[in-house]
Structures are given as C-alpha cells and as structure tokens.
Amino acid sequence: MAKPTGFMEYEREVGEERPLTERVRDWQPIHLHHDEAKLHTQAARCMDCGIPFCHKGQIINGMTSGCPINNLIPEWNDLVYQGLWREAYDRLSKTNNFPEFTGLVCPAPCEAACTLGITNPPVTIKNIEYAIIEKAYAEGWVQLEIPARRTGKKVAVIGSGPAGLACADQLNRVGHSVTVYERADRIGGLLMYGIPNMKLDKQLVQRRIDVMAAAGITFLTNQEVGRDVSAEALQAEYDAIVLCTGATRPRDMAAPGREAAGIHFAVDYLHGNTKALLDSDQYSVGSSQFISAAGKDVIVIGGGDTGTDCVASALRQGCRSLTQFEILPQPPLSRPANNPWPQWPRTLKTDYGQEEAAALFGTDPRQFCVMTKRFVADEAGQLTAVQTVQVEWASNGDGRPHLHEIPGTEKMWPAQLVLLAMGFLGPENPLLAQLGVAQDGQNVGAGYGRFQTNIPHIFAAGDARRGQSLVVWAINEGRGAAREVDRWLMGKTDLS
C-alpha cells in the first residue's frame, strides 16, 4: 500500500496545533489543518504489511486494538498518496458515518495496532482521516443520503450521541422514517455537551446534523422520553425503538465532607460551560448551570479523557491553581513486557490539557497514587480544602495488586472547586423501568451483534448497552443496531 519504501524514507509528523499559551485564552479549536503535501508524505508511510491489524477492532487484554468500525485504512492511505482524494472519501464513508468526529476525538486505537508501530512510530491515520472528510466538505462531496423510497416503517431513536446519530443515519438510508429524541436543547449528546469546543468544534457537529436533517431525519430537542413523552405513547407510535441514551450516571465519591458546596460532577461542569458558550458566545456567570473556575484552586479527581477536558476548561476560565489526582501509579514511558503490540500501549500519555497546564504553571498537573480522604468546608459549607494520602499498589499474595495507604503521607490541598471525573456507572434507570427493558448488570440487556432487548421491538446501542466507551465504539454499535432493526422490520437487510 502507498509507497513501498515510504516507511523507511519519511518520519512521522502529526498535524500542527495552535501555540499552547495562545489557545488557552479562548475556546477555539486547538488543531490546525495539515499541509496537503505533508499528508501525501505521511500516507506514503503506510507499508505493504500484508495483514493490516489497524482496520480490525478487537478487545485485547481489556483494551481496544484496531478500528472498531473497520475503516479501510490501507486503501484510503494509498489513495491519498496518489492524490485521489475523492476516491479516498468514498472508501472512508463506506464504514464511518462521522469521520470529522473520530478524526478529532478518537484516541486512535488504529494507530496503536499499526504494523509499522512494532519498530517505528505508526502512520498518522487519525490526521489523514480528518483531512479526507474536511476536503470532502470543502469540495462538496458530502451529499444528502436521501432514500429512493420510504418503507412506511417508523423508528424512534432515543438519544442523539454518536450511537444514536449513526443508527438514525443508517436507518434513514434504507428508507425508514426516523425520529431522534434528545432531552437537551441541542442535538449531539456528548459530542455537543460532553466534549469542550476547543477539542471538537460545535460547528462541525451542527454541520453534520444539518446534513442529516436535510436527508429526512426528524430531530426533537427538549424531549425527555419518560417525562415529556410517555413510554406508552412512544411504543404506540413507532414500529421499533432504539435506546442510545448513553451511560449518564456519574461515579460518585463517598468521602467525608462530600456535601460541601463546590464539589461537582465533571459532566455537569462541562455541559454548563459549553451551553453558556453556545448560548451567548460569552459566559453567563449568573446561570445556575454555569460553574466557574475563575480565581479558584481547582482539583480534578480522575485521570481519563473527561478529567483532561476539565483541566483544559478550568485553565481557560482562569483558575488560580490546578491539580489532577489519579489513584493509579504513573504509567511507564515505554511498553512493558506484558503489554506487547498490538495491544493498546499502557504508557504515559500527556494530553492537550496537561500540556497547557504545564505551559501556564510550569509543571504537569497530575499527581499519581493519590487517594482523597475527606473534603474540608468552612462554617458556611463552602469547600476550602481536600485531604489526601499517598497509596501504593502491592500484591497480598494472590498475584493481584491491592491498594495500601502509606502512613505519614497525608496532605492538605487548598481547593474551592473539585471536579469528579471518575467515569460513569451506566444508563439512568427510570426509562428502562417504564419500558420494561431488562438490564444486564448496570447496562441495558441486549447482546452485542443482535442489540435486541427482552422487548422484541426495542433495541439498544452505545454506552447504554456496553458501558462507558469510545466514540468509535458508539458508531460501531449504532450501525450494528440499525442493521438488526432493519432486519427485524423487513425480514432481511443490506446494511453492514
């Protein structure tokens, strides 16, 4: 694929970003468009590896390796190298409904599984993917997927995140009439309100939604099924229902003092911040949904992508200091022996938020092996500090690591704002109970591959079904659920 000797001739170059100290002063996208000549060179690095692990998503040792939506990566790399951008877009759009989203926010498990990555830095797959879709929009290649005929079947998709949008897009293409219900005031789910604007420009989200609406999909906002629309009415009106509500129950912390004012879930902080930005192009500090870090000592508890987004947002709001707690040890700089290719590399990753914090405050904000013991508040109930203790992970003789506190390592950290970014526990239960849908542990009970719940005409996909996961897995599941809904409605399906 591409240039046979390209991987030996060219070094990996990722797309440029805006300067760190400049971009923290606004909420505009941090990524700059990659030079087309450089993209040509980077695509040339895609080697003729024989068995491309990059385009086959699988779970290895608990982590994703390769692309869950089976993007035809070597094919469109070769086409970009040849300058055949339109053909590259055609290949990309066969498997991915939303390359503009995955090209920006996906952690790129495809690159982790790139064969070149065994001995050299992998191909810049993510940069090339984003460049293809942006060129497609610029050239007018992104056309409306309007079906030649309608089937007469009506499908309700509950939730407008990546799983719901992918499901709706696929079902509309084969002629079903699709209505997407969203309880927020804007369509997009976590794409709109869970990811900050500098990481995923909301104009890109709205651009895709406008295309889908023009193709015939109906979007209803401020409509919470189970409250604004009854579950009974929904079942009476639609031939099939797809639950794509996400895993929206945040993990809480039971430490003493949790009730202090100034402790918030990350999802509430990020949602309110983006909503204020979109509503007025400036901050509406008086809004009850707006949580400001301005002038405060901020602590983010949790080391994942959501925690990073909180770090970056607090910096832009003008926090006084910033610290990020992670209870796990610091990952190694290179792969350990028990983490071989093509597993996802469990190595230290410095993301955009940590880079920005280091540029402003002179040091990485992360503190590893730190456990929160209690929250301290003043007489008015306002948070003033967080007490922590250092921990270590050691085996108790059973071969598994266990957490142990290290005596004498207690520390008090000043804090007026704490953001809890410790993950999610699954979908909210009231709607599932109203519909009579069974759960598999915390999630909706619907087997992967069939996506059908215990109620034959109700299906589920995305985080609501599999638990908190990646945007690219949500697209995989939305497409899969659409395929099975179409099969159930029509007796057969042409959807992949």
460 CA to centre of own chain: 18
Q: Which two tokens stand for residue 166?
A: 């992918």
Binned at pLDDT 50, 70 and 90, residue 281 comes out as low
Class of domain 263-420: alpha beta
d(CA 302, CA 308): 9
What is the secondary structure of 389-439 as a DSSP string? EEEEEEE-SSSSEEEEE-TT--EEEE-SEEEE---B----HHHHHHHT--E
Domains 6-139 and 263-420 share a fold: no
Residue 282 predicted with pLDDT over 60? no
How do 366-368 and 177-181 pair as beta strands?
Answer: unpaired
Mean pLDDT of 142-154: 94
What is the secondary structure of 343-384 as a DSSP string? SPP-S----HHHHHHHHHHSS--EEESEEEEEEEE-TTSBEE
Which DSSP state fits 294? Answer: T
User: What mean pLDDT value characterizes the chain?
Assistant: 94
Q: What pLDDT is recorded for position 283?
A: 46
Mean pLDDT check: name the lowest of 15-29, 179-193, 276-290, 319-333: 276-290
| Domain locations in the chain as residue ranges | 6-139, 154-248+425-490, 263-420
Which DSSP state fits 34? Answer: P
Residue 287 predicted with pLDDT over 70? no
CB atoms within 10 A of CB 254: 5
Mean pLDDT of 316-324: 97
d(CA 100, CA 108): 13
* Fold (CATH) for 6-139: Fumarate Reductase Iron-sulfur Protein; Chain B, domain 2 (1.10.1060)
CB 327 within 8 A of CB 301: no
Residue 143 predicted with pLDDT over 60? yes
Binned at pLDDT 50, 70 and 90, residue 284 comes out as very low
* pLDDT tens by residue, 165-218: 999 999 999 999 999 999 999 999 999 999 999 999 999 999 999 999 999 999
Residue 288 predicted with pLDDT over 60? no
Q: Which two tokens stand for residue 91?
A: 């290949």
**φ/ψ of residue 9, rounded to 5:** -95, -30
Binned at pLDDT 50, 70 and 90, residue 286 comes out as very low
The CATH number of 154-248+425-490 is 3.50.50.60
Which DSSP state fits 301? Answer: E
Mean pLDDT check: name the lowest of 47-56, 147-156, 456-465: 47-56
Binned at pLDDT 50, 70 and 90, residue 222 comes out as very high
Residue 48 predicted with pLDDT over 90? no
Binned at pLDDT 50, 70 and 90, residue 285 comes out as very low
Q: Which two tokens stand for residue 406?
A: 């290290």
* pLDDT tens by residue, 389-428: 999 999 887 878 899 999 999 999 999 999 999 999 999 8
Residue 2 predicted with pLDDT over 50? yes
Closest by Cα among 232, 263, 235, 233 to 250: 263
Residue 258 predicted with pLDDT over 60? yes
d(CA 17, CA 403): 38
Q: What pLDDT is recorded for position 259?
A: 97
What is the secondary structure of 65-115 as a DSSP string? ES-TT---HHHHHHHHHTT-HHHHHHHHHHH-S-HHHHHHH---HHHHT-G
How do 458-460 and 443-444 pair as beta strands?
Answer: unpaired
CA angle 248, 438, 471 (to 5 degrees): 35
Q: What pLDDT is recorded for position 145?
A: 87
* pLDDT tens by residue, 66-114: 999 999 999 999 999 999 999 999 999 999 999 999 999 999 999 999 9
